[in-house]
Amino acid sequence: MAATMAPPATRETTAPTVARSAEAQREVLTREILDLKRRLNAVILAHNYQVPEIQDLADFVGDSLGLSQQAARTRADVIVFCGVHFMAETAKILNPEKLVVLPDKEAGCSLEESCPAEALAALQRTNPNFYTIAYINCSAAVKALSDVICTSGNAEKIVRAAPADRDLLFVPDENLGQWVMEQTGRPMTLWRGHCYAHVEFRRDSLLRLKAQHPQARVVVHPESLREVRELADVICSTEKMIQWCKASPDREFIIVTESGILHRLRKECPDKTFYCAPTYDVGRMPTDACRCSECKYMKLNTLEKLRDCMRRLEPRIELPRDVLERARRPIERMLEISARP
């Protein structure tokens, strides 16, 4: 009898203790990070997909466009970039004299991987009239080969501003490229890359969720497949998703992007309900499987790794001088076009 009574008693007492100690550890780490930030004169920039505890202590949380605008204007000596590698590289290109660190140097991106600079250079040689527009999710070496950079927040504007007499080459996201072609009517040669996380969202599973919540508006990131984009009430960058949901008179939303964004949405719209879009578990399950989509790269960053990178000032972004110089111009061109009314 005593043996059967014991387990529930143990569970009841340990669960709150574990939660309390995790909370206490988070507080200690947060204090240490904020102290290091002051001593280093650092700024902490975080992408909308970062874990909540990082978002909550960052100086700025936003999409790729907002983060590059912040990086371009910061007066800090050290930039601590909580996002993926190409984002931290962009901050370094804009601030070659500053120290840029990121919590985990393995935080890559499937889009960046899909487009090696040598392969892009070979394609560019086939048509001297190409005007290359690179989605910011690419390496510094690819940026250095490009005429202009874009993000999901300004891709349409950047393509509309491209010279009319040039043949447009859009790299590396074919889904974003397709969507921008539909918006602008401008034909483009598309690189065949994709975001491994966004292409897991599928039409059928989204339709099933929509049937359960018929009032919900569908908010989709343009890295998603066309079959999913066709179901959208709005297609936009992560930052615009937040602004759109805030301004909307509707109360329920299905969010088709990485689940990290739900933290900000729920914090900034506490009276609204957000559902994470389901994904199709490609190759692993015989039928649709509903699970929230997480970017395995974005989720490599933790509070502990953030503290460690600020203590050691490693891993840091270092780039060859010529790449830094050549990659800067297309990013500045993007910032300049983006600022136009």
* 63-82 binders of ligand 13P (CB under 6 A): 63-64
110 makes contact, choosing from ligand SF4, ligand 13P, none, with CB < 5 to 8 Å by partner type, with ligand SF4
Q: Which member of 48, 50, 90, 114 binds ligand 13P (CB under 6 A)?
A: 48
Q: Cis link prior to 270 (omega < 30° from 0)?
A: no
- Candidates 32-40, 55-63, 90-98, 109-117: pick the segment binding ligand SF4 (CB under 6 A): 109-117
| Through-space distance between the first and last CA atoms of the chain, rounded to whole angstroms | 76
Q: At its nearest, how many Å lie between ligand 13P and the CB of residue 47?
A: 6
Strand order of the sheet with strand 188-190? Answer: 148-150, 130-135, 167-171, 188-190
Binding to ligand SF4 by residue 89, rule CB under 6 A?
A: no
152 makes contact, choosing from ligand 13P, ligand SF4, none, with CB < 5 to 8 Å by partner type, with ligand 13P
Q: Which member of 50, 68, 95, 110 binds ligand SF4 (CB under 6 A)?
A: 110
Q: Which two tokens stand for residue 72?
A: 């371009």
238 makes contact, choosing from ligand SF4, ligand 13P, none, with CB < 5 to 8 Å by partner type, with ligand 13P
Q: Which two tokens stand for residue 35?
A: 């102290």
* Contact (Cβ atoms closer than 8 angstroms) between residue 239 and residue 65: yes
Q: Which two tokens stand for residue 216?
A: 């919900």
**Closer residue to ligand SF4, CB minimum distance, 80 or 195:** 195
Binding to ligand 13P by residue 114, rule CB under 6 A?
A: no
Q: Which member of 48, 137, 152, 237 binds ligand SF4 (CB under 6 A)?
A: 137
Give the number of residues in contact with ligand SF4, rule: CB under 6 A: 14
Q: At its nearest, how many Å lie between ligand SF4 and the CB of residue 115?
A: 12
**Closer residue to ligand 13P, CB minimum distance, 29 or 133:** 133
Kind of pairing, strands 217-220 and 234-235?
Answer: parallel
Q: Which member of 33, 262, 297, 334 binds ligand SF4 (CB under 6 A)?
A: 297
Query: Which x/- pattern, by CB under 6 A, does the window 216-255 give for ligand 13P?
Result: -------x-------------xx-----------------
- Candidates 103-111, 114-122, 270-278, 322-330: pick the segment binding ligand SF4 (CB under 6 A): 103-111
* 9-48 binders of ligand SF4 (CB under 6 A): none
Q: At its nearest, how many Å lie between ligand 13P and the CB of residue 63?
A: 3
Q: Which member of 195, 232, 277, 310 binds ligand 13P (CB under 6 A)?
A: 195
* 186-225 binders of ligand SF4 (CB under 6 A): 195-198, 223
* 222-241 binders of ligand SF4 (CB under 6 A): 223
Binding to ligand SF4 by residue 298, rule CB under 6 A?
A: yes
List interacting residues with ligand SF4 (CB under 6 A): 84, 109-111, 137, 195-198, 223, 258, 295, 297-298
